[in-house]
């Protein structure tokens, strides 16, 4: 066993190196506990195991020695396409050459359709079929455990191979003979037209399967995904793209805990060659209301309630000094502290590679608004809050009333000095407003007069101190002049009318100063970090929805269409895009898919005013 903790093989001069596979050239598969990225060339170059926030097994996307699982047909200059089996998260990669063609199906068995449910073994399945001609395939499985710091020992075992590391062991089985060497297992096979081969990588408790069982597993997983998606009530425009976003969000959702990860990946850069590389494999409280909105709007009530329960547990486990954290680990424990992996070269030489996230210790006052908005929505359309739950909500409001005038790091988690951000003020207003609405709706005991006084004081502060001194529109921070795309949330949370003249001036200013055609940037001012960043895909959809709420339907539809074009060919959105519209940042990003669902839902409803779904926000 080789230990790579010293990073001796890393390239310290790797900045700006072109990536072998771009961020957007990937599909995602998963089993609601973890997820893998499958590149367009058929390589799995990213996987953490056994959970989404566990150390990586494959991280070739971040380093040439990070580990990968490649399957390559020997075809001369094939055309390669990827697609999902309709209405599922089962991915198909097709190689089409002059002399032959191959189709590969990649999946992780759905929790309701696993091969070995008795002992809970989990796995990843790759099934390859020659659809035309005779084709030679080469498969290489080279896991590198613990973020590529642990080269596993490989031994033959019970008809397959076993990869054994310091703290993790996995087994690989195949329908073809496997050879093994230094940390690697491989196979070369010739498939005649119509023949198939399969590979199965998973837990150390995994046992060998057979052709019929693998075929049944694929069929069962396809059925399970379609059964889940059949609950969707959305019948409006862009339905295929909306439901693909729902499927992507489901892959980021923990079946065990109900939490939703911000993204599947860590340290994919917001600007290549710079240091904006963060770990998004955690659940942000900020995403709470967006998550509840999206799932409820599409008819996935169980997911909305499961997330509400997860968030509620965080509230009831909080303390009076700081009632809620910015983010949590997927299982609800404290998020990991941030540290760097200096032995990894980074995507396109973007270093440092980070795991954990220091933002979990920041003060971000806006999170209370998003949390209370989600609690209000869940209570309005779901089960009533418990007495203990309401007591904790009252504690949160007491905290907000005591701290709303303080500076913080804001929604964008600035790593500069704390500032007085308008978005944080507005979301403090949302927290109090939603608590008051909930108290009234459920006849709950609360000091409503005191709460109303604080809520109104926040309104007065915003209108008096957060407007441009010359132009009168809203600005990013108290006494400032710069804009912030987070202001787009103001009409979405009903702080201000979507047709108020001051808001319309703000919307126009955002369009003039933060928009580059269909791209919308978060802000233009310095944020204490090196390098620039791309346009934030979430903001494009917020902007589209704000245009629609202002009655500018032609503009809203055009921006929505441009935003949708920033998805990759499989319909997946990254965190950001560069000036050419190419993906940047962690992938796929939950918040962008959530914002897209919200914008599409609202714009569709405005275009068809005669249609009124059962559930409305």
More confident residue, 285 or 611: 285
**Does position 16 have pLDDT exceeding 80, yes or no?**
no
**Does position 314 have pLDDT exceeding 70, yes or no?**
yes
pLDDT in tens, 77-116: 999 999 999 999 999 999 999 999 999 999 999 998 865 5
pLDDT (mean) for 265-289: 89
- Which among 436, 465, 494 is the end of a domain? 465
pLDDT given for residue 315 in this prediction = 82
Average of per-residue pLDDT values in the chain? 92
Question: Same structural domain for residues 127 and 168?
Answer: yes
pLDDT given for residue 549 in this prediction = 98
Q: Phi/psi at 502 (nearest 5 deg)? A: -65, -40
pLDDT (mean) for 232-237: 96
pLDDT given for residue 9 in this prediction = 34
Q: How many domains does the chain have?
A: 3
Question: Same structural domain for residues 603 and 521?
Answer: yes
* Secondary structure (DSSP) of 434-454: HHHHHHHHHT----HHHHHHH
Question: Same structural domain for residues 75 and 156?
Answer: yes
334 found inside a domain: no
Question: Same structural domain for residues 455 and 509?
Answer: no
pLDDT given for residue 7 in this prediction = 33
The strands making up 576-577's β-sheet, listed across from edge to edge, are 535-536, 576-577, 583-584
Query: pLDDT class for 525, splitting at 50, 70, 90?
Result: confident
103 found inside a domain: yes
- Which among 175, 193, 221 is the end of a domain? 221
279 found inside a domain: no
Q: What percent of the chain has pLDDT over 90?
A: 82
Question: Same structural domain for residues 49 and 193?
Answer: yes
257 found inside a domain: no
Question: Same structural domain for residues 533 and 429?
Answer: no
13 found inside a domain: no
Pairwise CA distance, residues 495 & 474, whole Å: 12
Pairwise CA distance, residues 242 & 234, whole Å: 8
pLDDT in tens, 196-207: 999 999 999 999
pLDDT given for residue 10 in this prediction = 34
pLDDT in tens, 416-471: 899 999 999 999 999 999 999 999 999 999 999 999 999 999 999 999 999 999 99
312 found inside a domain: yes
- Which among 465, 496, 512 is the end of a domain? 465
265 found inside a domain: no
DSSP state at residue 428: H
Residue 573's nearest CA partner among 535, 543, 547, 607 is: 535
Question: Same structural domain for residues 423 and 515?
Answer: no
Residues 6+ apart with CB under 8 A from 244: 84, 570, 571, 572
**Does position 474 have pLDDT exceeding 70, yes or no?**
yes
Q: Phi/psi at 607 (nearest 5 deg)? A: -75, -20
**Does position 404 have pLDDT exceeding 90, yes or no?**
yes
Residue 56's nearest CA partner among 264, 333, 331 is: 264
Question: Same structural domain for residues 73 and 129?
Answer: yes
Question: Same structural domain for residues 126 and 152?
Answer: yes
Burial class (CB in 10 A: 0-12, 13-18, 19+), 28: buried
Question: Same structural domain for residues 296 and 186?
Answer: no
**Does position 613 have pLDDT exceeding 80, yes or no?**
no
pLDDT given for residue 264 in this prediction = 97
401 three-state secondary structure:
helix
pLDDT given for residue 2 in this prediction = 34
Q: What percent of the chain has pLDDT over 70?
A: 93
pLDDT given for residue 35 in this prediction = 98
Residues spanned by the domain of 530? 483-617
Question: Looking at residue 102, which CATH number applies to its domain?
Answer: 2.70.98.50
Annotate 249-270 with b (16+ C-beta within 10 A) or e (fewer): bbbbbbeebbbbbbbbbbbbbb
Question: Same structural domain for residues 491 and 584?
Answer: yes
pLDDT given for residue 121 in this prediction = 85
Pairwise CA distance, residues 470 & 509, whole Å: 13
pLDDT in tens, 48-79: 999 999 999 999 999 999 999 999 999 999 99
15 found inside a domain: no
Q: What share of the chain is helix, strand, coil (3-state, %, to 5)?
A: 35, 20, 45
Pairwise CA distance, residues 344 & 61, whole Å: 10
pLDDT given for residue 532 in this prediction = 72
Question: Same structural domain for residues 430 and 524?
Answer: no
């Amino acid at each position: 066993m080789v230990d790579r903790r010293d990073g001796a093989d890393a390239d310290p001069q790797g900045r700006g190196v072109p990536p072998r596979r771009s961020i957007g050239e990937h599909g995602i598969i998963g089993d609601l506990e973890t997820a893998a990225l499958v590149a367009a060339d058929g390589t799995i170059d990213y996987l953490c195991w056994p959970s989404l926030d566990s150390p990586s097994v494959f991280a070739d996307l971040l380093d040439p020695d990070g580990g990968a699982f490649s399957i390559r047909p020997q075809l001369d200059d094939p055309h390669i396409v990827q697609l999902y089996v309709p209405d599922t998260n089962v991915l198909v990669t097709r190689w089409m050459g002059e002399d032959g063609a191959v189709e590969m199906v990649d999946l992780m068995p759905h929790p309701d359709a696993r091969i070995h449910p008795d002992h809970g073994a989990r796995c990843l399945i790759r099934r390859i079929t020659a659809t035309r001609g005779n084709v030679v395939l080469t498969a290489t499985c080279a896991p590198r455990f613990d973020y590529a710091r642990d080269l596993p020992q490989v031994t033959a075992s019970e008809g397959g191979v076993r990869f054994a590391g310091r703290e993790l062991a996995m087994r690989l089985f195949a329908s073809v003979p496997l050879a093994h060497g230094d940390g690697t297992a491989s196979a070369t096979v010739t498939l005649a037209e119509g023949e198939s081969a399969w590979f199965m990588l998973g837990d150390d408790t995994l046992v060998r399967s057979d052709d019929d069982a693998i075929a049944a597993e694929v069929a069962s997983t396809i059925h399970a995904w379609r059964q889940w998606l059949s609950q969707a009530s959305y019948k409006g425009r862009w339905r295929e793209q909306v439901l693909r976003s729902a499927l992507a969000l489901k892959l980021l959702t923990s079946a065990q805990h109900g939490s939703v990860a911000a993204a599947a990946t860590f340290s994919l850069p917001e600007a290549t060659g710079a240091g904006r590389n963060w770990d998004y494999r955690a659940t942000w409280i900020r995403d709470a209301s967006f998550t509840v909105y999206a799932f409820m709007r599409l008819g996935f009530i169980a997911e909305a309630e499961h997330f509400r329960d997860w968030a509620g547990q965080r509230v009831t486990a909080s303390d009076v000094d700081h009632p809620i954290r910015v983010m949590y680990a997927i299982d609800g424990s404290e998020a990991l502290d941030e540290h760097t992996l200096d032995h990894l070269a980074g995507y396109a030489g973007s270093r440092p590679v980070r795991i954990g996230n220091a933002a979990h210790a920041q003060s971000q006052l806006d999170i209370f608004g998003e949390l209370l908005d989600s609690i209000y929505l869940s209570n309005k359309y779901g089960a009533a809050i418990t007495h203990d739950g309401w007591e904790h909500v009252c504690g949160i409001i007491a905290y907000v009333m005591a701290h709303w005038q303080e500076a913080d790091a804001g929604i964008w988690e600035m790593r500069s000095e704390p500032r007085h951000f308008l978005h944080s003020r507005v979301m403090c207003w949302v927290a109090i407003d939603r608590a008051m609405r909930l108290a009234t709706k459920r006849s709950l005991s609360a000091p409503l007069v005191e709460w109303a006084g604080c809520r109104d004081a926040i309104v007065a502060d915003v209108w008096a101190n957060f407007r441009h001194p010359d132009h009168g529109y809203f600005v990013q921070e108290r006494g400032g002049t710069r804009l912030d795309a987070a202001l787009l949330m103001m009409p979405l949370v009903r702080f201000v009318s979507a047709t108020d003249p001051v808001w319309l001036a703000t919307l126009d200013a955002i369009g003039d100063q933060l928009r580059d055609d269909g791209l919308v940037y978060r802000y233009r001012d310095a944020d204490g970090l090196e390098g620039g960043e791309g346009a934030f895909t979430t903001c494009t959809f917020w902007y589209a929805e704000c245009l629609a709420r202002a009655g500018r339907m032609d503009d809203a539809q055009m921006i929505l269409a441009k935003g949708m074009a920033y998805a990759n060919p499989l319909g997946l959105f990254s965190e950001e895009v560069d000036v050419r519209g190419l993906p940047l940042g962690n992938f796929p990003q939950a918040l962008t898919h959530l914002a897209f669902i919200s914008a599409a839902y609202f714009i569709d409803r405005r275009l068809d005013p005669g249609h009124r779904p059962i559930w409305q926000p």
